[in-house]
Amino acid sequence: GTATPAASSLLQVQKNTNGPTISTVVNNDPGANAKASFIVGSVPGTGLPGGTFGSLEYLGAGQLLTGLFGPDRTMVRGSGAGGLFLTAENTAGVISFATGGPSIGNQRMLINSAGNVGIGTTSPGANLSIVGNTTGVAGIVVASNNASAGYANAAGIQFNYNSNTTPSTFRVARIVAGVETGGGGDLYFDTAPSASGAFDTKMVILRGGNVGIGTPSPDARLTVNGTVHSTSVLVDLTVTGPDYVFKKDYNLPSLTEIKAYTDKNHHLPDVPAAVEMEKNGINLGEMNMVLLKKVEELTLYLIEKDRAEKEQKETNKLLTGRLESQQTQIDTLKKQLELTLKQK
């Protein structure tokens, strides 16, 4: 016993002071391997490195407990039965974090020997694996405590690339949730043109649902500022297909009427003027139906022209036959006239 006349154990340090009682282990040797350690062994000598460590308990409000579940595992528990449990499994190289429960708690997070972190899973296959087993959305919540609205005050995820060159960290891309005034928010997808250059928004999803590619202010469900390259585009029609053009009661305008209209307006009937298309763009579904209508009308014109040409051919054939018959009659009359003249 130190500073106590009646020690109750092999070593008891006691001091009457209005402050903490501190025990210090000091090693003043200047050698590189000199260490100051406090080791508790279950039997003499077994507390050395490579041996089996015994239990160390502190049952105060902090409840520090270690070595309670075998020689290959240590655990630190916070105060109360529902505190934090930290388990280090030396043989497997795993650190486990658990909460709740009266003994070892329920595992919440794990770091395996490869350095992978698992939340909700005991076998993380990537640097960070998150698995949820509750009803609803399970994942990561990224929040910003800045109460000001705006893109610059938002929460997001940034992707960097580290290398041995200068600069060592390259900015690659980020996803940012911009807060709108009055609630709600937008989602921005940015890329960096260079290692240290400012991020440039390539796509945005506004709180109303509009998506913009190449523009931060889409005015429709999908607004693209640039070329769209696709192998197929399916457009649902909001207008009636022009099959009515081929009905018997369809009033097909004459080519004379079409010419008069185009001479005056410089575009076909039902087709928007160039100025209007340049200002407002075109509706693909409606425009395709208008063009199809014009193709069907053109088909009717061609059918009518083909019918007229066939009738003209029949008429020409009939006239040719009549001309040939008349020519035969003329030739006969000429021969008769010549014979009569010779007889005189």
- Kindly indicate the confidence band of residue 35, based on its pLDDT and cuts at 50, 70 and 90: low
pLDDT per residue over 101-142, tens digit each?
A: 555 567 888 898 889 999 888 888 899 898 877 666 666 777
- For the segment 166-193, the average pLDDT, to the nearest whole number, is 78
pLDDT per residue over 231-268, tens digit each?
A: 998 888 888 899 999 999 999 999 999 999 999 999 99
- Kindly indicate the confidence band of residue 81, based on its pLDDT and cuts at 50, 70 and 90: low
Mean pLDDT lowest among 10-19, 63-72, 92-101:
63-72
Instruction: Specify the higher pLDDT residue, 341 or 135.
Output: 341
- The pTM of the full predicted model, rounded to 2 decimals, is 0.56
pLDDT for the residue numbered 46: 45
User: Of 52-56, 94-98, 206-210, which one has max mean pLDDT?
Assistant: 206-210
3-state class (DSSP) for residue 340: helix
- Kindly indicate the confidence band of residue 90, based on its pLDDT and cuts at 50, 70 and 90: low
Average pLDDT of the chain is 78
- Kindly indicate the confidence band of residue 199, based on its pLDDT and cuts at 50, 70 and 90: confident
Torsion angle in degrees (nearest 10) through CA of 256, 262, 268, 273: -160
pLDDT for the residue numbered 338: 86
Extended strands (E) in the chain? 56-58, 64-66, 73-77, 84-89, 94-99, 106-111, 117-119, 128-130, 150-162, 169-179, 185-191, 200-205, 211-213, 222-224
pLDDT at residue 60 above 80? no
